[in-house]
A and B are shown apart, each in its own frame.
Chain A
Amino acid sequence: MLEIRFHGRGGQGSVTAAEILAIGAFRDGKYSQAFPSFGVERRGAPVQAFCRIDEKLIRLRCQIYEPDVVVVQDATLISDVDVTAGLKRDGIVLINSAKTPEEFHLDGLVKTVDATRLALESLGRPIVNTVMLGALAKLGIVSLDSIVEVVGMRFKGELGEKNIAAVKKAFEELPI
């Protein structure tokens, strides 16, 4: 089972990202679930969302405490929140940042993508959740095709096209 924990701030679309990832993984032929850490979603406050992906039916109902992958949508969280808490050995930390991975002194394999810049270029707004999903596809968590398809279903018309462009840009830019 793959367990992915999203860290963001209320309003950054962490819950939506987890949901899109779960639907994408299901389209890839896996079982999946996604859920928020309930109840404290205020704009700007630290929030978490969770996604599990497995080959078999998922029965676990608890939150994720030992993730394989941590997605940090806002690097300013790192000073306040222990984003790598419980991270599995060899786990991946994907951070939205213009900095290099070496500049973060965190456990696990750190990857950075300048999602805010990519979102501003594609969407004209600093909403980074779909960009981070493109990066997750590059890391092999989900297929790019599925993410593109689900993002297209979630966001209609021009907004959908812009989000898909953002996903693809992140996929191209993230170094393996």
Chain B
Amino acid sequence: MKYIVQEGSHSIAEVIALCRPGLISAFPITPQTHIVEKLAELVSNGKIDAEFVNVESEHSAISVITGAEACGMRTFSATSSQGLALMHEVLHAVSGMRLPLVMVIANRALSAPLNIWNDHSDSMAQRDTSWLQFYAESVQEAVDLIAQAYRVAESRDVMLPGMICVDGYVLTHIYEPVLIPEQEKIDAFLPPYRPEYILDPERPMTFGAYATPNDYMEFKWEQQKAMGNAKRHIVQINTEYRELIGRGYGNGLIELYHMENARIAIVAMGSICGTLKEAIDRMEDVGLVRIRAYRPFPAEELRDALRDTETIAVIDRAFSYGYEGPVFSEVRSALYTLKERPLMCNFIVGLGGRDTRVGDIFELVKKAKESSEGEVTWFNLKV
């Protein structure tokens, strides 16, 4: 395995190439652009045997790869922010047609006001599209998630699309050392995509056909069953990846950090977890539960990890206007069945790319100790 220090986007593109997609289509949007630029370069230099389809919008990009995926190809796209929002209606069609394509989301805030920096508003807004969602802490994890996401998505009893959420700029534009797996290892881990059903003139069939009230709910129930299967596969595939390629992340769904005797737990997703770990090393009694797979949601695992804590601070990097942070709502609901519930509070952190320092985490923990049950704090707000 070779260590390389290069931009996060380029490491991601290289590993996408190792997964042998047959077709890539994307429309450039900051901060996703360098990923697909690099892929376009790899395609035009003949480094990967894929077609790169230039399109005039993200809506077209996702439509193109949907068609190719339905024809039996492994495909890829990447986008950010408004680009993902523009894809929204097609996202439902992809999951409903059970096409296991994979996208990287370079997470960026939504407009207005116009902002190109990182938060999770864009992918959170796609929570209910029936896509698998993974959040990476580091470039290394983003890179390791790619083959894993294809494996989970393409599992026969899953067949759902997946988003790998990578914090824009913070991870896409950073230079840091990354281990790129060898082609043989990825080939051994990720077999060629051989779907059961494809669009083929020799064997005509329809994808995403009409479903009346008599049938529609059953199709949707199948999607939910597939999400349940995905949970099992994520755990299994994380273990397999660890054995074959040498790196694993918690149990695949969540990762625990210094939770052994933690009285206070922070729950968070994405790159902020690196800074959280640094802060936690300098504090007593504080641990981290990092959510790696947000869909399917690891409710039981969170309940087990958090049941013995006294206080839980959930960090959201997005907001559900009119209520509270979306991760908080779900964690709190997951813990509702506990006989003795810890105090749970919510911190809305770093919307639109506001930086979070180690000292901020100390302050957040202090505030969590003083918070009342269910309290929502917009952290570091200048009002």
Question: Residues of A with Cβ closer than 8 Å to B?
Answer: 18-19, 22-23, 26, 31-36, 38-39, 58-63, 65
Contacts and interface: CB of A to CB of B under 8 A. Distances in A.
A61 B353 contact: no
A22 B277 contact: no
A32 B274 contact: no
A114 B353 CA distance: 36
B175 A23 contact: yes
Nearest to B274: A59
Interface string B162-188: 000001011001111100000000000
The 10 closest A-B pairs by CB, nearest first: A59-B274, A34-B175, A33-B176, A38-B169, A35-B174, A23-B5, A62-B357, A61-B271, A26-B5, A61-B274
A62 to B, nearest CB: 5
B337 to A, nearest CB: 34
A55 B19 CA distance: 32
Given A26-B177, A58-B176, A63 B274 contact: no
B137 to A, nearest CB: 8
A83 B357 CA distance: 19
Interface string B281-297: 00000000000000000
A39 B357 contact: no
Interface in B15-37: 31
11 contacts: A18-B175, A33-B174, A33-B175, A38-B31, A58-B176, A59-B275, A59-B278, A61-B167, A61-B272, A61-B274, A62-B356
Contact of B177 (A32, A35, A62, A63): A32
A22 B5 contact: yes
A38 B117 contact: yes
B176 A36 contact: no
Nearest to B118: A38
B173 A36 contact: yes
Contacts of A26: 3, 5, 177
A35 B353 contact: no
Nearest to A19: B175
Contact of B358 (A19, A31, A60): A60
B222 interface: no
Contacts of B170: 35, 61
Nearest to A20: B175
B237 interface: no
Given A22-B5, A38-B353, A65-B357, A60 B274 contact: yes
B117 A34 contact: no
B260 interface: no
B355 interface: yes
Contacts of A61: 167, 170, 271-272, 274-275, 356
Contacts of B174: 33-35
B356 A32 contact: no
A32 B3 CA distance: 12
Given A35-B173, A38-B31, 11 more contacts: A22-B175, A22-B176, A23-B5, A23-B175, A26-B3, A33-B175, A38-B353, A59-B275, A59-B277, A62-B355, A62-B356
A62 B355 CA distance: 6
B70 interface: no
A62 B175 contact: no
B277 A39 contact: no
B116 interface: yes
Nearest to A58: B176
Contacts of A65: 357
A114 B174 CA distance: 30
Contact of A32 (B176, B272, B275, B358): B176
Contacts of A22: 5, 175-176
A65 B7 CA distance: 22
Contacts of B169: 35, 38-39
Nearest to A25: B5
A53 B272 CA distance: 19
A35 B117 CA distance: 14
Contacts of B353: 38-39
B116 A39 contact: yes
A22 B174 CA distance: 10
Contacts of A38: 31, 116-117, 169, 173, 353
A143 to B, nearest CB: 15
Given A62-B358, A65-B357, A39 B117 contact: yes
A160 B340 CA distance: 66
Nearest to B6: A23
Interface in B36-79: none
B122 to A, nearest CB: 16
A159 B173 CA distance: 25
